[in-house]
Structure 1
Amino acid sequence: MTAKTQYVKDLTPGQPAADVFCLGAARLAQAKNGPFWTLVLEDATGQIEAKIWSPAAGNYADLAPGQFVYVEGQVGAYRDRPQINVERLRVLPPEEYAPDLSQFVPTSAEPPEALLEQLTELCRAEISYAPWRKFCAKVLSHPDFRDRLVEAPGAKNVHHAYRGGLLEHTLSVARLVLAICERYPHLDRDTLVAAAMCHDLGKAWELTAGPARDYTDEGRLLGHIVITLELVEPLLKKCGIDPELALHFKHILLAHHGEYEYGSPRRPKTAEAFVLHFADNIDAKINQISNAFESEEPGQWSPFARTLDRYLYNPRRTPRETNEKSPRPREKDAQCLLPLKA
């Protein structure tokens, strides 16, 4: 098998596609004229939908996420997004094809290992209550947690869906809650930062890492919120966290999805729980918006963003200038600002 030369980011309507991709999803459906496959092909640069129409769809019975496939077809467009109409597809067995995973697994712009160190340093520097500081250090240095955290995506496909995505999202949420605490100093800063650090911890067990991000049995049966509580409970006791603080901390975790219809076992009932819910939502939405545009040129509309149920617009932004009345953000504040592109 020759080296991979075609990447998802370079595929545009009107060109042929002929290369190896990883199957991110595969679904067989039935139309009036016969069965058809809807596939998601992915590599390190992104994802593209592909279709195998009837009667050719009947030639494939065992397509599944995680397989590496050689695809030949033509790139078209559907709902403003590129889509491959597959003419031929061959599943590559492991004994024939040993992939270079760096070509197929999208990774955060900053190395996950560096994000983990930044999160560790943030907790050490920003938490003053010794038991919470000890708790965070134990979570982030736990031998059963570290490797999972480095590899974990932030979600299956909605936001931060790449290696290091969980750490990138967690670090952003922690920085956001710190910025909010600066404005509202009565908030329980230490409990809130600890909760921000842990709020999605269970996703490292809910989702598989690697080329095929999918839900584990534990993820399907319990979900990441329940998994998180199970993971942190022994460490809360071991670190001597005051029971009332631990109770509030667990409520913040349980309520961070905000509403029952979004999978939240409890709705927020404290100021800190509301803060984490909104910080989590802001970072997830900004990541979705950043990834919706096919170019960074202002004045462009995105393809239809299904997870947000709308088209998005990339406006022209005011140039940044410095003067005595409007200085640039202080270095500490600048760390909390989110770029348009991750």
Structure 2
Amino acid sequence: MIIEDLALLDQPNQQFQGFGLIRSAQLAQTKKGDPFYNLSIAKGKKEVPAKVWSELIAGQEEEVKEVLQEGRVIYFEGDTSTYQDQLQITVRNFRASKEDEVDTADFLEMAPERIESLQQELEDYIALIVDPLIQEVVSSIYQKYKKPFSSYPAAVKNHHSFVGGLLYHTVCMIRLGLDVSRRYPGINQDFIIGGITLHDASKVIEYTSYTAPQYSVPGEFIGHISMSSMLVDREVQKILSDRGEKAQLTKLEQEAVYQLQHCILSHHGRLEWGSPVEPKTLEAHVIHLIDMIDSRVNMIERGLADTPEGAFTKVFPLGKLYKPSMDE
């Protein structure tokens, strides 16, 4: 039986003929020096590793390279097998899809809530920021990057790696942040909203696209954490320029900016996890912990989605996890 929908592949020894979106494509070499491609091919939530071996490449390297582009939908035929307990496809034949054959949007995984509703919710949260300088900085940066902010993923892999994932992750974190703030009145809500809104904002610069995101040159050299803090500094300088030639921040304004930047710079929590600094304020600690909660809940839910009830499965990078049985 030939399967024509990538989302239906679920076991070895299946034959596939159909279309898939190339999420990633890396040219590699076997131990003998023969070229082959490691692909990740997707449709919606389904993503399957695939191999294109040297016999399909030899003599037409440039043509193959042109077809196997990240973010492109291709037609291919192949057979499934398992490698290290993971389903994969060995490609037998492939070609570029024709313009009128498929709609790339049909192959993209989308955020579970409407983008327009999430945008409005985030803008309502930003409007709650009381400090006028922080409100202006956060709102201005968000509005400048609103379009990519609403389409880019929150990560290349693992968590919220879908269209609108950055926006969805941000809104989910603020929802948690406001719940925590209501229970602990000592938390400054301005920094919770502002810090969460901007903590991953530069992922729209760190990644190359929203359809098949890879790391950009500034993403590799600098990273989203530092770049997001830089966005704050640039916006503050613009505000000062608008105020006048010799304008300066007041002492309280400067401290507020530092605290906002600190929430961004410390949100990974530890130096070994990529934070330039570790959390030194209550709000910075809360944001880091909420980021951990939201990213891991999404990671676990996605990792267990296709796992049978009552079974264990490996979810990278969290290890082996269990999906409980549900009572009828």
TM-score for the superposition, normalised by structure 1: 0.81
Q: What is the aligned partner in structure 2 of residue 138 from structure 1?
A: 140
> How far has the Cα of 1:76 moved from its partner?
2.2
Q: How far apart, in 2, do the equivalents of 1:209 and 1:114 lie?
A: 22
Give the alignment partner of residue 108 of structure 1, picking from 107, 111, 115: 111
Q: How far apart, in 1, do the equivalents of 2:141 and 2:31 lie?
A: 53
Name the aligned partner's letter for residue 102 of structure 1: A
User: SS of the residue aligned with 2:172?
Assistant: helix
1:267 lines up with 2:267 in the alignment: no
> How far has the Cα of 1:227 moved from its partner?
1.8
1:311 lines up with 2:320 in the alignment: yes
Question: Structure 2 matches for 1:1-342, cutoff 5 A?
Answer: 6-13=4-11, 14-32=13-31, 34-58=34-58, 61=61, 62=65, 63-92=68-97, 99-125=102-128, 127-140=129-142, 142=143, 144-236=144-236, 238=239, 242-295=253-306, 298-302=309-313, 304-308=314-318, 310-316=319-325
- After superposition, the CA RMSD in angstroms is 2.6
> How far has the Cα of 1:296 moved from its partner?
7.0
37-46 or 243-252, larger mean C-alpha shift: 37-46
> How far has the Cα of 1:60 moved from its partner?
5.8
Name the aligned partner's letter for residue 29 of structure 1: A
> How far has the Cα of 1:253 moved from its partner?
0.7
Q: How far apart, in 2, do the equivalents of 1:295 and 1:46 lie?
A: 9
1:23–1:235 Cα change, 3 Å: same
> How far has the Cα of 1:19 moved from its partner?
1.2
Query: Could you give the per-residue CA deviations for residues 36-70 of structure 1, whole angstroms, max 9, x where no partner exists?
Result: 32210112333111112344454663233233322
User: SS of the residue aligned with 2:227?
Assistant: helix
Cα contact 1:160–1:284 (8 A) shared by 2: yes
Cα contact 2:40–2:49 (8 A) shared by 1: yes
> How far has the Cα of 1:295 moved from its partner?
3.4
1:318–1:136 Cα change, 3 Å: farther
1:30–1:160 Cα change, 3 Å: same
TM-score for the superposition, normalised by structure 2: 0.84
> How far has the Cα of 1:284 moved from its partner?
0.8
Query: Could you give the per-residue CA deviations for residues 165-197 of structure 1, whole angstroms, max 9, x where no partner exists?
Result: 000101111122222222322122212221011
Q: How far apart, in 2, do the equivalents of 1:102 and 1:32 lie?
A: 38
1:10–1:182 Cα change, 3 Å: same
Q: How far apart, in 2, do the equivalents of 1:32 and 1:42 lie?
A: 28
1:234–1:263 Cα change, 3 Å: same
Name the aligned partner's letter for residue 140 of structure 2: K
Q: How far apart, in 1, do the equivalents of 2:7 and 2:80 lie?
A: 12
User: SS of the residue aligned with 1:242?
Assistant: helix
1:60–1:51 Cα change, 3 Å: farther
From the two aligned structures, give the one with the greater helix fraction. Answer: 2
178-187 or 198-207, larger mean C-alpha shift: 178-187
Runs of 5+ consecutive residues of structure 1 not aligned to the other structure: 320-342
Identity of aligned residues (%): 29
User: SS of the residue aligned with 1:151?
Assistant: coil
Name the aligned partner's letter for residue 181 of structure 2: C
195-204 or 214-223, larger mean C-alpha shift: 214-223
Q: What is the aligned partner in structure 1 of residue 246 from structure 2?
A: none
> How far has the Cα of 1:315 moved from its partner?
2.3
Q: How far apart, in 2, do the equivalents of 1:10 and 1:231 lie?
A: 43
Cα contact 2:160–2:295 (8 A) shared by 1: yes
Q: How far apart, in 1, do the equivalents of 2:132 and 2:264 lie?
A: 21
